[in-house]
Structure 1
């Protein structure tokens, strides 16, 4: 009886004719909040992402995020359980109901290891990276790019299975830029939607006539790999000090030495973080190299990217 009274006292929302009770806040950003909720019909926990849509453009962006989730049913991409758009007093909120992954983000796991003075084993790095790449491959094969891959946008379950999340920055994999005005539009969009310390070099100063493709994600993937190896992103300190990340990404990534990880893993990292996007590999090549490293002692990586 006491439990029932407790349930009734909690605030509740309804999505797709199912009731969910608020448990606690999990996170908040500039225009979104994530709450932990419990389904009254199944007793399971879910993450409710509430996006504040301050104008028509923001509402369309939220709708696009819903559509991106609905495109995929993949073990390494966070699924969408339900959604709703709520209109209140002239304001709109998009509600995205997502599975709750209790272990949290890859970044939170890495932070705890760093605080303990520990590190991530190479086999664990390869296992997580393999799952991230499988999710990315599904996105790229569908003709899209994630555009904001970073450790906080990767969730890990109790078995270390990674889930790509926050699909709000996703768009078509290939973007043809025609003229300086369009280049500036893409550059401004990237500044708003692609986290600076994980942003590919070609998005900092967009050329007037170019094609930007899904290999922006390969650069970000390299940054994620670096973060798993060093427990901080390659450009985190540069950004925190107020120095120019845009300038730093024009140079080859520097791997601190001595490095406890295999030469094969270091070579894979260097291969993904190539400033010239045309020299960067695609996701199938990266997956192949990971599989090679998982099946070997990690001392060599084939440099043929065909």
Structure 2
């Protein structure tokens, strides 16, 4: 799935803390509030609700329930990812440069390939050309739509529990760990395999379900890409280390990305180290 450009961007400039409307291609959403930042300072996540055009019912009255039309009709979206009340998470990225634009496109290309219950699905996306306010230069904004999970990340849940001097039961730790491994196995099963490169508690969404185990979903594919890299010189090793220092959190970075040998074959096992560190953080 490639990147698409939308001409319906006149209202995008009003998007802030809430109250404005935003179009993502043919789908209209009302911004309810800001959920937080995502990755670099130029990215934010908004809680939005789909605005579905009213349709005449059989008795002649107008009205449509959220999810009855709009994004729910898009092919390829699993019904479990359609919100019952029409709310979603919208990631807004202010693109800073041509290089940044290519990274956003890469994130869209990679995340669009995955279909797994423990990987956050990309429901819709748009990259919009906008003019600079001061100098009139052309910039871009990207909008990525995801299902919303308001219980927070594993980092959020763990922090709250520690403040109460509470800990996950062993069975819950293992259930979360198993789900993360399942999601990574799906990424690693591609030919060539993909590595997430950012597995950490901040990138794991947790949904607490009544009378069921916690649902763990791996998100944020900004750093994801082909897992296997061939290093055959000191220059290539230093280049990989520099990339890792910018994209991989220090506490979850594998040893081969800290001090890469000048002759090495890097592969998807980098994720195994990171998910192991994530397991340790829950214990």
TM-score by length of 1: 0.70
The question of 1:109 aligning with 2:157 is answered yes
User: For each residue in 1:216-244, what CA deviation from the matched residue of structure 2 results, as whole angstroms up to 9, or x when unmatched?
Assistant: 11111111001100xxxxxxxxxxxxxxx
2:116 corresponding residue in structure 1? 74
User: For each residue in 1:33-55, what CA deviation from the matched residue of structure 2 results, as whole angstroms up to 9, or x when unmatched?
Assistant: 11111111224111111122111
Aligned residues: 221
Match of 1:135 among 183, 194, 202: 183
CA distance in structure 2 between the partners assigned to 1:200 and 1:179 by the alignment: 20
Considering only aligned residues, what root-mean-square deviation do their CA atoms show, in Å? 1.2
User: For each residue in 1:150-205, what CA deviation from the matched residue of structure 2 results, as whole angstroms up to 9, or x when unmatched?
Assistant: 00100012331111100110111111112111111111110100011111111011
Match of 2:204 among 150, 154, 161: 154
The question of 1:55 aligning with 2:97 is answered yes
The question of 1:30 aligning with 2:72 is answered no
Match of 2:195 among 142, 145, 148: 145
TM-score by length of 2: 0.76
Superposed displacement of residue 16, structure 1:
2.7
1:40 corresponding residue in structure 2? 51
Match of 2:261 among 197, 207, 215: 207
1:285 corresponding residue in structure 2? none
2:249 corresponding residue in structure 1? 195
**What are the residue-to-residue correspondences of 1:1-306 with 2, within 5 Å?**
10-28=19-37, 29-41=40-52, 42=66, 43-89=85-131, 90-142=138-190, 143-159=193-209, 160-229=214-283
CA distance in structure 2 between the partners assigned to 1:187 and 1:48 by the alignment: 32
Relative to its length, the structure with more helix (as a share) is 1
Stretches of structure 2 that go unaligned for 5 or more consecutive residues are: 1-17, 53-65, 67-84, 132-137
Superposed displacement of residue 30, structure 1:
2.2
Runs of 4+ in 1 over 2 A off after TM superposition: none
Secondary structure of 1:13's match? Answer: strand
CA distance in structure 1 between the partners assigned to 2:43 and 2:234 by the alignment: 32
1:242 corresponding residue in structure 2? none
User: For each residue in 1:245-293, what CA deviation from the matched residue of structure 2 results, as whole angstroms up to 9, or x when unmatched?
Assistant: xxxxxxxxxxxxxxxxxxxxxxxxxxxxxxxxxxxxxxxxxxxxxxxxx
CA distance in structure 2 between the partners assigned to 1:211 and 1:51 by the alignment: 33
